[in-house]
Amino acid sequence: MHPLLFLVTWTCFMSQVLCSNLSNFLTQLPSCAESCVLDFVSNSSCGTNATCLCTDPKLKDDVLSCVESHCLPREALAAINLTSVACDFPIRDKHEQFNILTITLIVITGITVGLRFIEKIRYGPGLQLDDYVITGAFLVNLGNSVVCLHGLSRNGLGRDAWRFSPDTITAYLCFLYAGQTLYATDVFATKICVLLFYLRIFPGITIRRLIWGTVGIAVLCMIIFDLLALTQCQPISFYWTGWDQLHKGHCIGINSLAWAIAAVGIILDFWMLGIPISQLIHLQMKWKRKLAVASMFGVGTFVTVVSILRLRYLVAFGNSSNPTCEQSTISLTTNIMF
């Protein structure tokens, strides 16, 4: 028996504390985490008072970081789960609000697209190129919603990773891989829809060439980022199996890819906002009417603002030791965008 383990058990017995619970807890810990907990107990002013130890803020800061640095991920999750159960830490769970938001947004989007089609077919000139692209973008969005609800939310999104088995975490990351690829497609497909709409309302030759050039850039970006998302890890399965450090492989940088997609998307947003505004300047209409029209196009800036705010949550994306919980916010903002 580890000398410190013997000391803790003996002290519990002498002080008539619930020694069996504490000693059982220590013996259940993975061996790599044992020294972290014992060092914390021996250096704490709480002695063997379990309530005092659990409420000590250093428990989460020192012990958990020590466990993560000394143990493999599977062992670290087991140790953290034992600690959270023993100390009765609050259970974090945001997956229900994520589900409600995802379902609400996809239903609203479906109704909007459906009404657009009805209006075009019954009262308009019929379906045009942008309508078909919108259909494709909606199907991608629908697929992403299925991934979010069936894959991510069902496998731990919004909850702490240590509450789940390693197989569940692997499944979560597998669905995350699919979701990231669909996200890359959705980002640029949505922009292509807007650009094709511009082509129908701006007849000038120069501006149409500019718009078609932007469409070409958006299509090229979509293809490049889709290929990068699909092949970012070698072997591909390393994306969802590499987290436990028991498999061999490498990735180009999950964080870098997420940042690149977001950054290029934001740049295109500003560029696309400038296209209609540049045309409004030359239109012969009162400034109040120009302002009203500009405000209509400016609605798109909401997505840009959300994209910029989303950047702060990308810092930990791909590098988190608790991905199922810490990625819930970025998943929420991504759903709002699309």
Domains and their CATH numbers in the chain: 3-86 (no CATH), 95-337 (1.20.1070)
- Residue 290 corresponds to which amino acid? K
Under the banding of pLDDT at 50, 70 and 90, the label for residue 79 is: confident
Cα–Cα distance measured from residue 316 to residue 271, given in angstroms and rounded to the nearest whole number: 28
| The predicted structure's pLDDT at residue 66 | 84
Q: Is the pLDDT confidence value at 257 over 50?
A: yes
Handedness of CA 154, 158, 162, 166 (dihedral sign): positive
Under the banding of pLDDT at 50, 70 and 90, the label for residue 15 is: very low
| The predicted structure's pLDDT at residue 235 | 93
Cα 271 → chain centroid: 26
| The predicted structure's pLDDT at residue 64 | 78
| H or E segment and range at residue 250 | strand 250-251
CA dihedral 24, 69, 235, 154 (to 10 degrees): 50
Q: Is the pLDDT confidence value at 329 over 80?
A: no
* Pair 109, 138: CB distance under 8 Å: yes
Taking all residues of the chain, what is their mean pLDDT, rounded to a whole number?
79
* Pair 137, 196: CB distance under 8 Å: no
Cα–Cα distance measured from residue 74 to residue 276, given in angstroms and rounded to the nearest whole number: 53
Count Cβ atoms within 10 A of the Cβ of residue 99 and give its class: 0-12 exposed, 13-18 middle, 19 or more buried: middle
| The predicted structure's pLDDT at residue 33 | 81
Under the banding of pLDDT at 50, 70 and 90, the label for residue 320 is: low
Nearest of 9, 150, 164, 138 to residue 78 by alpha carbon? 164
| The predicted structure's pLDDT at residue 279 | 77
93 - beta bridge partners?
A: 159
Mean pLDDT of all residues in 261-275? 86
| The predicted structure's pLDDT at residue 17 | 41
Handedness of CA 227, 301, 110, 100 (dihedral sign): positive
Helical H runs in 124-164? 129-146
Q: Is the pLDDT confidence value at 24 over 70?
A: no
Under the banding of pLDDT at 50, 70 and 90, the label for residue 204 is: confident
Under the banding of pLDDT at 50, 70 and 90, the label for residue 223 is: very high
More confident position, 126 or 169: 169
| The predicted structure's pLDDT at residue 29 | 78
Cα–Cα distance measured from residue 261 to residue 176, given in angstroms and rounded to the nearest whole number: 16
Lowest mean pLDDT among 5-14, 34-43, 158-167: 5-14
Q: Is the pLDDT confidence value at 324 over 70?
A: yes
Lowest mean pLDDT among 1-15, 188-202, 228-242, 296-310: 1-15
